[in-house]
Amino acid sequence: MSIRILCIHGVNTNENGDWLAKWQQSIRSAAASAGVAANAFEFHELRYNAHFEAAKADGAVYAEAVKRLWNSYWAHRRALGRATEKGLGTLIDNTIGMVAKWTALPQLRQQLATELAQSIKSVNPHVICAHSLGSLITYDTLAAQQALAQDRLFVTLGSQIGHPALAESFGGYLKPLSTVRHWYHLFNSEDAVLTCELDFPEAPYTQLDTYFDEWGPLDHSAEQYLAHEVTASNVWAGLAKALPRSIEPAKPKPAPAVGGPWFKAPTLQRRSPRKRRALLIGINEYPQPENRLSGCVNDVFQMSAMLQERGYQPEEIRVVLDARATTRGVDERLKWLLEDVRAGDERVLFYSGHGAQVAALDTDGEPDHKDEALVTYDFDWSGNTGITDDTLARYYANLPYEARLSIILDCCHSGGIARAGGVAVRGINPPDDVRHRGIEWDAAKEMWFPRKKLDLRSRMNKAPAEVVRRYLGADGATQKMGRAVSRWSDDPTAFKAATRRLGHHGPYNPVLLAACREDQYAYEYTHGSVPYGAMTFMLIQQLRATAGRKTLEDVVTQCNSVLKSKLGYEQEVQLYRPREHQQTRFPGKAPVAKKKKA
């Protein structure tokens, strides 16, 4: 028996060159080091360049696709703290064209999927190795036709599948491949070609850290991935454990021949046994004296106490406060919070501090849309814009639909002022030069108005005005927290078609509790001599008063009643719960009622 490998190359590969010979050499060499005989493999290739050469994209459509990829690429790279290397822009520009054409032309994607499906049926491979653009084509095909992946070993290398720039092509959500024997995702943190990590905790899936740093800024070559010692000790060693030492070559058998003990898959183990985790963030001591608050740290301890009353263990809760709550510090803890999330697991993100609204710039330096942001300790309005929904969506957009993520934000995004009597407001105003990004001059009316260009409403097609406001704000230009708007497409029809084809409902959305409407302020409240966020204090008070047995809707209604009637605050707590979300109560379990003494 021989192991049949179907090889699918990446962008800008000369199909008449020696790429396949190099792949064969890398695989045979690495496999031999793991104990697999050199004659164990039979290699096949998929040629697809002709489809790209024949496909003609409308100039405007293609240009828009390239721009979207560029915007997302640089935004994601900045979010990861990666520097811009000399010559990188030109190299990416030379590789991004084929990917842009693939995203812009659904008909091309369908042709490629059909061709790949035919090749899989013809070759009937044990292993499918897909690099770069080839991995996009392959995942797109297998996710829609999972029977094609049945019992095969899938290896992706230098892959862009998980990059936010490609999310809309997959309907904003990535489904695991449940039918494969195993999926190995070879990831190199130095790879600059839109590569991204992936996480499918409940699937037969493993991401391997195949770090390498070769000459030039791309670090993207398939041969380096395939010959890597980590690949050898995991992927090819899995073959060595199951195959005899000496294998006589054999012709491919007719389908279905895949199966049997030809590969020993790794035992799937949960990285963390905990089904619950909470991250609580509070910032009082901002560097600028005028931005300092008083009740945020108290809010964090109040929330920690409430979660523990509802069954959370102390070790399931992490806290980050004040100067430690930098953008990088929060991002690292978000990774802890949202790693290894499975169906039925519960996660809580609580934030108490300032909020802001930031005009995001595209690759041309022009304002593109507005982002709601959580103001971290080192937030600076330009290079460091805190935690936006783009950042959060990297972690939550692909969570299992059955997971329960709650985001609780005691802040506001509409600026900040001090109310008469010194009541602090949890929002900050942008400097005038930053504010200028989002406004334009109307000469006829001699007034400043919001820029018309900042508009995301095309992504919502014919949705009712109230639904548009809930996702995009009153101005239709704001990426609101917890909505994963960055994963949507400007072509809602194509986006819907992708969700149907791939069998899902689009990006995961969490339950979100926000301190106020977007046109209101989030205030602090002093209880005797102890300051708190008004929303957090009322929320905890209502949960304790009802023993946590009321629905979220009931708790929010009662909070708003007290805020208005007792405190006189024009602040209405907002609850956003997607209709498909099954969570109806506050995280944790309601404490057992104590029996009254006779």
Please tell me the predicted confidence (pLDDT) of residue 175. Answer: 95
State how far the alpha carbon of 247 is from the alpha carbons of 215, 240, 294, 452, in Å: 37, 11, 72, 67
Tell me the one-letter amino acid at 378: D
Please tell me the predicted confidence (pLDDT) of residue 572. Answer: 94
Top pLDDT among 240 and 89 is at 240
Residues 21-60 have pLDDT tens digits of 999 999 999 999 999 888 889 999 999 999 999 988 777 7
Please tell me the predicted confidence (pLDDT) of residue 453. Answer: 67
Per-residue pLDDT, averaged over 563-568, amounts to 90
Task: Give the sheet arrangement for strand 41-45, strand by strand.
Answer: 41-45, 3-8, 127-131, 153-157, 182-187, 205-209
- Choice among 44, 354, 413, 504 that is catalytic: 354
CA torsion sign for 210, 65, 463, 374 is positive
354 is catalytic: yes
pLDDT higher than threshold 70 for residue 508: yes
Mean confidence (pLDDT) of the chain: 86
Per-residue pLDDT, averaged over 274-294, amounts to 94
Half-sphere exposure of 166 (CA within 13 A, CB side): 24
pLDDT higher than threshold 70 for residue 413: yes
CA torsion sign for 425, 431, 434, 438 is positive
- Choice among 7, 412, 516, 559 that is catalytic: 412
Max intra-chain CA distance, the chain: 89
Question: H-type helices in 227-278, by residue range?
Answer: 229-231, 237-240
Residues 103-135 have pLDDT tens digits of 888 899 999 999 999 999 999 999 999 999 999
Question: What is the SS3 assignment for 180-219?
Answer: CCEEEEEECCCCCCCCCCCCCCCCCEEEEECCCCCCCCCC
> Which residues, 6 or more positions from 116, have their beta carbon under 8 angstroms from its beta carbon?
8, 46, 48, 137, 138, 141
Of the candidates 68, 73, 108, which has an alpha carbon nearest to the alpha carbon of residue 91?
73
Please tell me the predicted confidence (pLDDT) of residue 271. Answer: 60
Radius of gyration from C-alpha coordinates of the chain: 26
pLDDT band for position 398 (50/70/90)? very high
Task: Go through the domains of the chain in sequence order and give each one's CATH number.
Answer: 8-240 (no CATH), 276-436+479-576 (3.40.50.1460)
Per-residue pLDDT, averaged over 191-209, amounts to 92
Please tell me the predicted confidence (pLDDT) of residue 456. Answer: 78
CA 468 to CA 459: how far, in whole Å?
Answer: 9
pTM beyond 0.85: yes
What percent of the chain stands above pLDDT 90? 58
Question: What is the SS3 assignment for 342-375?
Answer: CCCCEEEEEEECCEEEEEEECCCCCEEEEEEEEC
Number of helices (H) and strands (E), helices first, in the chain? 17, 20
Bridge pairing between strands 153-157 and 127-131: parallel
Top pLDDT among 144 and 450 is at 144
Per-residue pLDDT, averaged over 331-349, amounts to 95
CA 25 to CA 23: how far, in whole Å?
Answer: 5
412 is catalytic: yes
CA 568 to CA 190: how far, in whole Å?
Answer: 54
pLDDT band for position 476 (50/70/90)? confident
CA 421 to CA 567: how far, in whole Å?
Answer: 13
pLDDT higher than threshold 60 for residue 589: yes
Residue-wise burial string across 109-128, b where 16 or more C-beta atoms lie within 10 A, e elsewhere:
bebbbebbbebbeebbbbbb
Judge whether 363 and 138 are in contact, CB under 8 Å.
no
pLDDT higher than threshold 70 for residue 284: yes
CA 398 to CA 341: how far, in whole Å?
Answer: 10
Per-residue pLDDT, averaged over 363-375, amounts to 78
Residues 415-432 have pLDDT tens digits of 544 433 446 777 788 888
Please tell me the predicted confidence (pLDDT) of residue 248. Answer: 41
pLDDT band for position 347 (50/70/90)? very high
What percent of the chain stands above pLDDT 70? 86
Please tell me the predicted confidence (pLDDT) of residue 249. Answer: 37
Judge whether 404 and 587 are in contact, CB under 8 Å.
yes
Please tell me the predicted confidence (pLDDT) of residue 138. Answer: 98
Comparing 222-226, 347-351, 353-357, the range with the smallest average pLDDT is 353-357
- Tokens read off for 374: 């959580």
